Structure 1
Amino acid sequence: MGSVAIRRPDPAIRLLSAGAGLVHSAVLLDSGLEHYRGSFRNPAMLLPLATSTVNIAIDGTRLVTGCSTPDSSLRVAGQGGAVAVGLIGMGFHLFNIGKRPSGFGWGNLFHAAPLGAPAALVLAGALGAAADRAHASIISDGRAVGALCAAGIVGTAAEAALLHFRGAFQNPAMWLPVAVPPIAAAALAANAVVRRAQPTTAALLIVTAALGFAGAAFHAYGVSRRMGGWRNWRQNILAGPPLPAPAAFTGLAVAGLGALILIGRVRG
C-alpha cells in the first residue's frame, strides 16, 4: 500500500499568523478603548473594531490549522479591508491633529488622536496577506516581510518614545521599548538584505516580544497607581497608560521570527 504524504504545518506561516493576530488584537482593544472614550461620535470609528475582529478569526484559523481559510474572498476582503481602514484612519487622525490650535505641535501630538493604531492595522492586514502568500508558495524568502516587520517595530518604538517622553521617562524601564526594539529591527533588516538568518537577530526579536508582555504589566501597574486604582477601573483604564499598546511589539516580533525562518531557507 502506498503511503499518503501529509503536509506538516509550516512554523513560519504559524508565526506570521500569530503575529498578525496579536497586532489585530492590540488594535481591537486599543481602538475600542480610545473610540469608546470618544463616544464613537463618528460611525467610522466602528470600522477598525469590525475589521480587526474578522481578521483575528482568519489569522486564528490559519494559526491552528496551519492552512489558509478556504474562502479566499473572505481573506481578501478582511485583509484588504484592514489595510484600507488603517489608511483611512491615519487620514482621520492627521486631520484631527491638524485642525487643532497649534496644529502639529507637541501638545497635540501628545494628546490628540494617535497615528500608531491605524498604522498598526495596515501592518496587521499586510502580515496576514503575507502569511497566505507564503502558504501558497507565492513568497518564499521572507525578505519583504522582514523589512515590513522591521519598519513596523521602528514605528511602534517611535510611538512609545513619544508617549514615554510625555511621561518624562519617570521609570527607567520606559527606555527599554525605545532602545531594544530598534536594534532588533535593524538586525532583521540587515538579515533581509544579506539573505542570512542570524541567531542574534532571533534572540533580539524574542527579547522584543517579551518586552510587549512586560510593557502591558507595567501599564497595568500604572493604572493601579492612579487615584482609586483598579477599583476605579472604568475611569483609570481610559486615563492611564494604554494596556493593549505594548502587545504590538510582541506581534511584530513574532511575525519577524516567521520572516527570519523564511529568510534562512534561502541558503537551505
Structure 2
Amino acid sequence: MTSFAPPRERSPLAGAATALALAGLVGAGLWAARRPQPRPQPGSALPVETARQPAARRARQGGMLLAASAAIDGATEHYRGGFHRWEMYLGPAASIGALAASAMQAAMPRPLREGLLLTAAGVGLAGHAFHARNILDRPGGVCWSNLFYAAPIGAPGSVALAGLAGLAATMLERREPEMPHRRGRWIAIGTVAGLLGTTAEVALLHFRGAYHNPAMYIPVTLPPIAALTLGAAAARPSPTRLRLAHRMLGATAMMGLVGTAFHAWGVHRNMGGWRNWQQNLLVAPPLPAPPGFTGVALVGLAAIDLLEASE
C-alpha cells in the first residue's frame, strides 16, 4: 500500500525569513537602479563623458548578471539532460567566458575580451536553432507539450544578450568621437527586444504552471510596459518619457531580484523542500532565471543615461 505523509506545518520562521529576503532584495534592486549622477533639469544635458562612464558601467553590470544567470541556469538544465550532446557544454562555457570578459575588462586584452563576448553572442543565437530542432524532432512537433517540456526555445537568448551587453559596454569605453543619441537608441532597441523575448519565454513557462500564484502575472506585464516606455523614450526623447522609462526599468530590475525569492519559495513547496535540494533544484522554478530581467533592465538604464546626454 502507498502511504501518504501528512502535510507539514509551516514554520513561522519560514514566513519571517521570506519577508526578510524580499526586503533585502528590494533594497538590492534600489541600489542597482540608483542614479550615479544628479538628474539633469529639463532643457539641460549631461556632458557626454559624464554620461558615458555610468552607461558603460551599467551595461557591463547588466552583462555580468545576464552571463551569471545564463551560466548557472544552463548548467543546471543541461545537467538535468545528462549533457547527452557535447554541444550542451557550449552554452554554460560561453556564458562563463562572457562573465570573465566583463568582470576582467581592465586586465584582459581587448581582442580576447571582445572575442569571448562575440562567441557568447554567436553561441546564444546558435542555441535557438538547437532548441528548435529538439522541439521539432519530438513526436508531435510544435505542440503545447513539446513547448512546455522540450528544450526551452527562448533560453539561449540570455547567453546572446550577455555577450551583446558586454560588447555595448566595450563600445562605450572606447575614447572616440561620441554620438550618444544614436548609441543610446541602438542599446534601447536591443533592450526592448531582450525584455519582450524574455517575457515571452516566462509567459510560456508560467502558463505551464497555470499562473497558480497571482504574482506570476507580474513578470509578463511589467517588463512589456518597461519596454514600451523605453521604446517611446528612444523614439522621441523628452524629460517626462525618460523619467518614466527609468522608473519602469528600475521596477523591472527589482522584480527580477524579488523573483528569485519567489522561486526559492517554490523549491520549499516541493516535496522535501530544501532538504531534498538535489532533486528540487532540478524540477522546481529555476533560481537563477529571474535576475535575467535585472540584467536586461540595467542595460536599458545605460541607454537612458546616453539619451539624457543628448537632450
Q: TM-score, normalised by structure 2?
A: 0.79
Equivalent in the alignment of 2:77: 34
Name the count of aligned residue pairs. 256
In 2, the alpha carbon distance for the partners of 1:57 and 1:82 equals 11
In 2, the alpha carbon distance for the partners of 1:19 and 1:208 equals 13
Equivalent in the alignment of 1:124: 162
| Corresponding position: 1:43 with 2:86 | yes
Give, in angstroms, the shift of residue 102 of structure 1: 1.1
In 2, the alpha carbon distance for the partners of 1:181 and 1:69 equals 35
Larger radius of gyration: 2
In 2, the alpha carbon distance for the partners of 1:212 and 1:151 equals 17
| Corresponding position: 1:140 with 2:180 | yes
Equivalent in the alignment of 2:262: 218
In 2, the alpha carbon distance for the partners of 1:32 and 1:70 equals 25
Give 1:85's aligned amino acid: V
In 1, the alpha carbon distance for the partners of 2:238 and 2:71 equals 34
Residue 184 of structure 1: which of 223, 226, 243 is its match?
226
1:29-59 residue CA offsets vs partner (Å, 9 max, x unmatched): 1101000001111111111111111211221
Equivalent in the alignment of 1:3: none
Equivalent in the alignment of 1:172: 214
Residue 54 of structure 1: which of 97, 120, 125 is its match?
97
1:147-205 residue CA offsets vs partner (Å, 9 max, x unmatched): 10111011111111111111111100000011111000111111111134611111110
Q: Which runs of 4+ in 1 moved over 2 A?
A: 137-141
In 1, the alpha carbon distance for the partners of 2:238 and 2:186 equals 14
Superposed, 1:17-96 pairs within 5 Å as 17-62=60-105, 71-96=109-134
Equivalent in the alignment of 2:54: 11
| Corresponding position: 1:240 with 2:284 | yes
| Gap runs ≥5 in structure 2 | 1-48
Give 2:301's aligned amino acid: L
Stretch deviating more after TM superposition (165-174 or 189-198): 189-198
Over 3 Å counting, the alpha-carbon distance change for 1:70 and 1:140 in structure 2 is farther
Give 1:210's aligned amino acid: M
Give 1:118's aligned amino acid: P
Given that 1:134 and 1:140 are in contact with CA atoms closer than 8 Å, whether structure 2 keeps it comes out as: no
Equivalent in the alignment of 1:200: 244
1:210-250 residue CA offsets vs partner (Å, 9 max, x unmatched): 11011111011001100000000000000111111111100
1:64-93 residue CA offsets vs partner (Å, 9 max, x unmatched): xxxx55512212211110011111111110
Given that 1:18 and 1:251 are in contact with CA atoms closer than 8 Å, whether structure 2 keeps it comes out as: yes
In 1, the alpha carbon distance for the partners of 2:153 and 2:101 equals 25
Given that 2:234 and 2:307 are in contact with CA atoms closer than 8 Å, whether structure 1 keeps it comes out as: yes
Give 1:39's aligned amino acid: G
Determine helix, strand or coil for the equivalent of 1:116: coil
In 1, the alpha carbon distance for the partners of 2:68 and 2:154 equals 14
Task: Output the aligned Cα RMSD.
Answer: 1.6
Equivalent in the alignment of 2:30: none
In 2, the alpha carbon distance for the partners of 1:182 and 1:96 equals 28
In 2, the alpha carbon distance for the partners of 1:133 and 1:69 equals 17
In 2, the alpha carbon distance for the partners of 1:172 and 1:234 equals 28
Q: TM-score, normalised by structure 1?
A: 0.91
Equivalent in the alignment of 2:10: none
Give 2:143's aligned amino acid: G
In 2, the alpha carbon distance for the partners of 1:95 and 1:264 equals 43
Determine helix, strand or coil for the equivalent of 2:93: helix
Give, in angstroms, the shift of residue 61 of structure 1: 3.0
